[in-house]
């Protein structure tokens, strides 16, 4: 029987995802309120106009605080704990009290080799999850750009409305979130390809070479920088929907690269 997979660090990512969702809701509420304020404020009662005039800056400040708190505190903290857990598994050193089971799937015994295999597995799953996430983000970005271009080419569009829409579209929560996801996917795929080729072209005996270890550490650092720099947390819903298929594929990759040979 296969051991049950569990990951105590998933609870650390829960608040990150929830706060990210809150930031998204606040952003769109601010966007709708701003457009309404610009388009219809002459026809509104003075009390409604005043409420929007006060409420929109408050919503904008709330969104800024929430998104930056998530980006500069919660997300780096979660990534730091995941990194410690990754190193704990590779070097059999308890850097964190959180425990995982069946999260990494290789039997390599040399710590630096196991680290490389763990990063290879992580990048394999991560790049595939990000590719699935790209479908939604690309559609959203395309729709938003179409709306923006429509406003530009309609001569009757008020300048104030065009300014508001442009600011909203090119903020970090809309267009450039899709861009960050594209960049992250490319970098994750690069790490995967680098490590796949590295393990494929090195025999068990030659894995003890310093150059082999240096390449592993280089890709480990690049992988961690890519995740931290993107400030994007992968969707757990997408991961679990792909997990069975990707796990089967990973088992074939591990067998081909001889990652389950305990004596290596």
Residue ranges covered by each domain of the chain: 10-75, 108-134+172-264
According to the 3-state scheme, what is the secondary structure of 145-171? Answer: HHHHHHHHHCCCCCHHHHHHHHHHHCC
Q: Which helix (H) or strand (E) holds 248?
A: helix 236-256
DSSP secondary structure, 197-222, as one string: HHHHHS-TGGGGSHHHHHHHHHHHHH
**Span 163-213, pLDDT tens digits:** 777 877 777 677 788 889 999 999 999 999 999 999 998 765 555 678 899
**Span 46-92, pLDDT tens digits:** 777 788 888 888 988 998 899 889 988 999 999 999 999 999 989 98
Residue with tokens 């389950």: 260
Q: What percent of the chain has pLDDT over 90?
A: 39
Q: Which of 90, 70, 66 is nearest to 78 (CA)?
A: 70
């Amino acid at each position: 029987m296969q051991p049950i997979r569990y990951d105590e660090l998933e609870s650390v990512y829960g608040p990150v995802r929830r706060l990210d969702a809150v930031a998204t809701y606040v952003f769109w509420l601010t966007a709708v309120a701003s457009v309404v304020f610009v388009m219809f404020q002459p026809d509104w009662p003075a009390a409604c106009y005043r409420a929007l005039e006060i409420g929109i800056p408050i919503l904008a400040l709330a969104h800024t605080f929430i998104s930056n708190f998530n980006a500069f505190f919660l997300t780096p903290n979660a990534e730091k704990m995941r990194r410690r857990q990754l190193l704990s598994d590779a070097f059999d050193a308890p850097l964190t009290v959180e425990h995982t089971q069946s999260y990494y799937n290789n039997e390599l015994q040399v710590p630096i080799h196991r680290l490389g295999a763990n990063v290879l597995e992580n990048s394999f799953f991560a790049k595939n999850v990000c590719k699935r996430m790209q479908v939604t983000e690309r559609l959203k970005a395309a729709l938003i750009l179409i709306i923006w271009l429509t406003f530009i080419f309609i001569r009757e569009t008020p300048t104030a409305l065009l300014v508001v829409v442009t600011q909203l579209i090119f903020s970090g929560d809309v267009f450039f979130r899709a861009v960050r996801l594209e960049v992250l996917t490319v970098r994750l795929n690069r790490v995967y390809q680098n490590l796949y080729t590295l393990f494929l072209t090195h025999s068990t005996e030659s894995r003890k070479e310093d150059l082999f270890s240096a390449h592993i550490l280089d890709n480990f650092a690049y992988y961690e920088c890519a995740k931290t720099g993107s400030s994007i947390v992968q969707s757990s819903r997408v991961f679990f929907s792909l997990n069975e298929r990707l796990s089967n594929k990973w088992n074939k990759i591990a067998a081909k690269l001889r990652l389950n040979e305990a004596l290596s």
